[in-house]
Chains A and B, each alone.
Chain A
């Protein structure tokens, strides 16, 4: 049997099948092996799909052989293939890490359920990315969201429960807004296939239900991607979730929501409808700048590293949306590059913080004093990723900032370029909080001597830090794919 034509379906089916399998097998080592195998197979499929898209262009797959506008279509193009590689890559690194990490943070009898939820979440995120059907997007969004709520609630601290509850309320409101938007679009066009919807919308463009759909989708997705000021759920969720979960969702969940936003804006509504007729550009610019400055400033005053970097995530999402607001090819390229670079950077930071939490028993700034002496490699890794958040040359963050500033200059908005550089100083300030505590303070006496980060945690963290540096030096994969995706999104409509 030749599986190659069915890769788009397998991309989702493999982790989706792994989830019930882990429940049935129960033994945690077996469950771990199944989940690990599923995530690595998913990565292999994602890379294969990316290669095929790079060679032969967009792949369309009809689920159950029902042709596209009637059946559910899976569609892999330059953008979705790129996001698939990010999500599966992070999952393939976080899973081997999670074994030792949850050993310390989750009661043993719940371990197999952790892998179930992780596999479900992965299946959901991949489904959102690959599907070409509007309602399917919503269903996968809820699959991934519900499993994320459970994963967050697994945190040791009782505040994790409250964080999961708050995220559930906000996330469900967001998802319901999205489904209202999709419903209105369906009523106006009579189709659920995204590409078909985009074609048919041209006839009813500008009518009130379509504008309402745009508004509902924008607000719902902004909640999901934690655009300032709809980010209230994010800091607690990242701070109290188990370390492996923080790393996984920080790197993937909000990024996939950005992907859906791009998909709806460019492939369904069309760039001209969103940006030319409505003041969306100004609105996005304002929210992005407010997010960058407010969240980065709040981050400086945090006393816990996980919260600090969670607020920094809100700021970094601001940069992603800022690129979108330029409405130009280089702006969109910056958005897509930063989506990837920030995912990798934040994933690496939270993986390293998991190691810190394991050795020192917490991530508050008071607890990690003198960490530079106690855990030199980990501290160095966090500093490297911090430099990437600031945007120092040689790290992935620099590449994204470079394209953002280029986009600003293309538009002649030199003041915006100045603001981008100024906001990097805020990032420098919050990264400095870590550097000061780790390198310029004496270690606490009660730092458990001898406890070490297990190798299964150190290697994935190290690999991810290495990718942060690698993509700062060799940008052919990231910028190449992003530029292709941006050209596709902008070219598809004209």
Chain B
């Protein structure tokens, strides 16, 4: 199957479609959900899509790790993997910090729903203004 006018085959580019789907789904969850944990889940999906964006083009079908030997002629690019290893660490750290903040928010507010928390805060700030 070929996309009209672009010369792209759907099969050859399916990783891009998956990447884009994950990217948009993740971002949508972050924006649309009011639950602080669900927002973080969305954020993680969004970040994961980037891992795919980097890694998929680095892989060649039949390619191996770059080993200098006559037996291998087709190599996959190892650099994206290394980069994404770093990005995964960053993503884990972000998620851990986000979850830790949610725990503290729940201790302070007794809720992890964004609208409830905002309405809890609206009251004291009004009192402050009248002070």
Chain B positions 100 through 131: 1 when the CB is less than 8 Å from some CB of chain A, otherwise 0 = 01101100110000000100010000001101
- Closest Cβ neighbor of A147 among chain B residues: B97
Set of chain B residues within 8 Å of A172, measured between Cβ atoms: 43, 47, 94, 98
Q: Which chain A positions have C-beta within 8 A of B117?
A: 162
Given A169-B39, A180-B50, 18 new contacts (CB under 8 A): A135-B83, A135-B86, A142-B90, A153-B104, A158-B105, A159-B121, A161-B105, A162-B117, A168-B101, A169-B43, A172-B47, A173-B27, A176-B47, A180-B23, A183-B54, A186-B80, A187-B57, A364-B131
Q: Report, as a range, how many residues of chain A touch the other chain.
A: 20 to 34
Interface 1/0s, chain A 132-145, versus B by CB < 8 A?
Answer: 00010011001000
How many A-B residue pairs have C-beta atoms within 8 angstroms? Tell me: 73
Chain A binding surface SS class: helix
Task: Give complex CA distance A161, B110 in Å.
Answer: 13
Decide yes or no whether A58 CB sits under 8 A from chain B: no
Q: Is the CB–CB distance between B97 and A364 below 8 Å?
A: no
Q: What residues of chain A lie closer than 8 Å to B131, measured between beta carbons? A: 364, 366-367
Interface flag for A258 (CB, 8 Å): no
Residues of chain A contacted by B128 (CB below 8 angstroms): 303, 364
Residues of A within 8 Å of B101, CB to CB, are: 149, 153, 161, 164-165, 168
Q: Does A179 contact B (CB under 8 A)?
A: yes
- When C-beta atoms are compared, the residue in chain A nearest to B39 turns out to be A169
- Contact check, B53 vs A183: say whether CB atoms are below 8 A apart: yes
When distances are taken between beta carbons in the complex, the residues of chain A under 8 Å from B30 are 169, 173
Query: Would you call the interface of chain B mostly helix, strand, loop, or mixed?
Result: helix
CA distance A111 to B70 in the complex (A): 59
Chain A minimum-CB-distance residue to B57: A187
Binary per-residue interface labels of chain A (59-73) against chain B in the complex, 1 for a CB within 8 Å, 0 otherwise: 000000000000000
Q: Contact at A149–B97, with CB atoms within 8 Å?
A: yes
A150 within 8 A of B: yes
Q: What separation, in Å, do the CA atoms of A186 and B129 have in the docked complex?
A: 51
| Beta-carbon contacts under 8 Å, A117-136 to B | 135
In the complex, A77 Cα to B121 Cα: how many Å? 47
Residues of B within 8 A of A (CB): 23, 27, 30, 36, 39, 43, 46-47, 50, 53-54, 57, 80, 83, 86-87, 90, 93-94, 97-98, 101-102, 104-105, 108-109, 117, 121, 128-129, 131
Assembled-state Cα–Cα distance A146/B95 (Å):
10
Q: Is the CB of A142 within 8 A of B104?
A: no
Residue of A169, A364, A367 ringed by the most chain B CB atoms within 10 A: A169
Query: How many Å lie between the Cα of A142 and that of B50 in the bound state?
Result: 15
- Expressed in whole angstroms, the Cα–Cα distance for A150 and B27 within the complex equals 23
The residues of A that contact B121 with a CB separation of less than 8 Å are 159, 162
Most buried by A among B27, B30, B101, B129: B101
A residues adjacent to B (C-beta < 8 A): 135, 138-139, 142, 146, 149-150, 153, 158-159, 161-162, 164-165, 168-169, 172-173, 176, 179-180, 183, 186-187, 192, 303, 364, 366-367
| Given A169-B30, A176-B50, A303:B105 Cβ within 8 A | no
Q: Which residue of A lies closest to B121 (CB)?
A: A159
Contacts of A150 in B (CB 8 A): 97
- Taking the nearest CB of chain A, how far is it from the CB of B11, in angstroms? 20
Set of chain B residues within 8 Å of A168, measured between Cβ atoms: 94, 97-98, 101
Cβ contacts A to B, 20 pairs, < 8 Å: A135-B83, A142-B90, A142-B93, A146-B97, A150-B97, A153-B104, A161-B108, A165-B36, A165-B98, A168-B94, A168-B101, A172-B47, A180-B23, A183-B50, A183-B54, A187-B57, A303-B128, A364-B128, A366-B129, A367-B131
Rounded to whole angstroms, the CA-CA distance of A341 and B73 in the bound complex is 56
| Complex-state Cα separation, A462 to B94, whole angstroms | 37
- Complex contact B104–A146 (CB within 8 A): no
Q: How far is the CB of A131 from chain B (nearest CB, A)?
A: 14
Task: Tell me whether A146 and B43 are in contact (CB under 8 A).
Answer: no
Q: Considering the complex, give the chain B residue whose CB is closest to the CB of A180.
A: B50
Chain B residues near A161 (CB-CB < 8 A): 101, 104-105, 108
Note all chain B residues with C-beta closer than 8 A to A364.
128-129, 131
A146, B93: Cα distance in complex, Å: 8
Most buried by B among A158, A168, A176, A367: A176
| Residue in B47, B80, B90 whose Cβ sees the most chain A Cβ within 10 Å | B90
Which B residues are CB-close (under 8 A) to A179?
Answer: 50, 87
Chain A residues, CB < 8 A from B80: 186
Which residue from chain A places its CB closest to the CB of B43 in the assembled complex?
Answer: A172
Nearest CB of chain B from residue A447's CB, rounded to whole Å: 14
CA distance A146 to B46 in the complex (A): 18
Q: How far is the CA of A179 from the CA of B90 in the complex (A)?
A: 12
- What B residues does A165 contact at CB under 8 A? 36, 98, 101-102, 105
Closest 6 CB pairs of A and B: A158-B108, A142-B90, A165-B101, A161-B105, A183-B54, A161-B104
A146 in contact with B94 given A180-B50, A364-B128 (CB within 8 Å): yes
**Bound: A183/B49 CA distance, A:** 12
When distances are taken between beta carbons in the complex, the residues of chain B under 8 Å from A138 are 87, 90
Residues of B within 8 A of A180 (CB): 23, 50, 53
